[in-house]
Structure 1
Amino acid sequence: MELAIFDLDETLIAGDSASLWLAFLVRRQLAPTDILEREHALMSDYYRGRMDMDAYMALTLAPIKNWQQLDLAPLIDEFVEQDILPLVYPAALERLAWHTAQGHQQLIISATGEHLVKPIAQRLGVDHAIGIQLECHDGVYNGRTHGVYSYQQGKLTRLQAWLAMQPQTPNMTYGYSDSLNDLPLLEFVHRAAVVNGSERLLRLAAERGWERLNWHLS
């Protein structure tokens, strides 16, 4: 078994799915407009590799607190269709199709909530997805998370837990990411690829012989 592992935001799509989701909720008047500015301030720390994930998740999950999963699902489907699919890199679709043609399993793993990651993965034809786990009681989101965040080293922890539950251990793994936050993941896989990486990450890729990819929308 061979496995291709993809980060989502700024790797498969030209944007951040959680940020785009908040903007969608604001447009639909389901979240306050000032949430975008507050989220932007927290995201600036993400790019420095020192985001307060507890604060970020509390902020971004507040608009869906007390929502029924069944009621939110159609909104998420609309969001994926309108806001995510137009931002998928054509080269990303080609790479996904190549792995499919080779018979490889594929997994998307992201530091975004699973309520977004799983529907996006499904729409892209990817069978497996890991995102930050949301607490849900009797089908209702309570605005909290549980388990290890799939962020930085936690992304590798979640991946290894997922691998331990699979019937086969992959004899070859591919990994794709744009971010230094995913360095543990890129160092774990057999064949790493940096997509639209920062200067520092591209320098590391050159030193380690990783594939360097420049994906764009047009």
Structure 2
Amino acid sequence: MSLAIFDLDNTLIADDSDFLWGQFLVDQGIVDKEQYEQANLRFYQDYKQGRLDIVEFLNFSLAPLARHDAEQLFQWRRQFVEQVINPILLQPAKDLVNKHRDQGDTLLVITATNRFVTEPIVQLYGIDNLLATTPEFVDGRYTGRFNGIPCYQDGKVKLLQQWLQHSNESMKNSWFYSDSHNDLPLLQQVDNPVAVDPDDILREHAEQAGWPVISLRG
């Protein structure tokens, strides 16, 4: 048995859930369209170019959670998953997850998108283990802040190391599937790195390193 790690956005699903959640908030009139939409796009472009200030982005993306009660937020999230996420689930990704499950591997998703957005999406793939940035939740409300280390770039490696210390898992014969060059720090830690529909930087690195390059969009 091995540890099979998956990125979420543009790997297991055919788009970026963080960006789409922001667009959903705009479309529903929950946030100011002009200001929020422009900032959401800017942060997404920064992410794709590997220059995202993760703390600045989290302060932006978690702020709407602090303005509404949890029950309302969970209702919006259910609507988001049904209307936006379900259409971009990928059957080949489900098949890959199930292949590792059938082999007895431990399944883990590590994503830069916060846990509020990603937890129900990961559950759709039947994966119990999730490492993601955790929004702070105090006295039944989100505060707009986050707990611990942001799950981004080197932070993914640090959070995985912490998780390994509290689990019975090891990195022996481990796998990691990702689309993004932002995940190179973690891809370089596993025995079996796999580039999935990769961005140009990751594709070039994978080809030079001899890593498999696959697509889950078929």
TM-score calculated relative to the size of structure 1: 0.93
Shift of 1:78: 2.2
8 A Cα contact 2:19 2:40, kept in partner: yes
Give the aligned partner of residue 16 of structure 2. Answer: 16
8 A Cα contact 2:22 2:61, kept in partner: yes
Give the aligned partner of residue 5 of structure 1. Answer: 5
Matches within 5 A, 1:32-47: 32-34=32-34, 35-47=36-48
3-state SS in 1 of match to 2:193? strand
8 A Cα contact 2:134 2:147, kept in partner: yes
Shift of 1:169: 2.6
Q: Which amino acid aligns with 1:174?
A: W
Matches within 5 A, 1:33-182: 33-34=33-34, 35-182=36-183
CA distance in 2, matches of 1:165, 1:30: 39
CA distance in 2, matches of 1:215, 1:122: 19
8 A Cα contact 1:66 1:140, kept in partner: no
3-state SS in 2 of match to 1:172? coil
3-state SS in 2 of match to 1:112? coil
8 A Cα contact 2:3 2:169, kept in partner: no
8 A Cα contact 1:109 1:155, kept in partner: yes
TM-score calculated relative to the size of structure 2: 0.93
Shift of 1:133: 1.4
CA distance in 1, matches of 2:182, 2:50: 6
In structure 2, the gaps of 5 or more residues are none
CA distance in 2, matches of 1:90, 1:175: 18
CA distance in 2, matches of 1:81, 1:109: 22
3-state SS in 1 of match to 2:83? helix
Shifted more, 44-53 versus 59-68: the winner is: 59-68
* Higher strand proportion: 1
Shift of 1:90: 2.2
Give the aligned partner of residue 186 of structure 1. Answer: 187
Answer yes or no: is 1:198 the counterpart of 2:209.
Answer: no
3-state SS in 1 of match to 2:131? strand
Shifted more, 60-69 versus 16-25: the winner is: 60-69
Give the aligned partner of residue 25 of structure 1. Answer: 25
Shift of 1:102: 1.0
8 A Cα contact 1:3 1:174, kept in partner: yes
8 A Cα contact 2:55 2:150, kept in partner: no
8 A Cα contact 1:117 1:130, kept in partner: no
Identity of aligned residues (%): 36
3-state SS in 1 of match to 2:113? strand
Q: Would the alpha carbon gap of residues 186 and 137 (structure 1) be closer, same or farther in structure 2, given more than 3 Å must change? A: same
Shift of 1:170: 4.7
8 A Cα contact 1:3 1:104, kept in partner: yes
Shift of 1:147: 1.0
Report Cα offsets for 1:146-180 as digits up to 9, x if no partner.
Answer: 21111001111111111111034353211000111
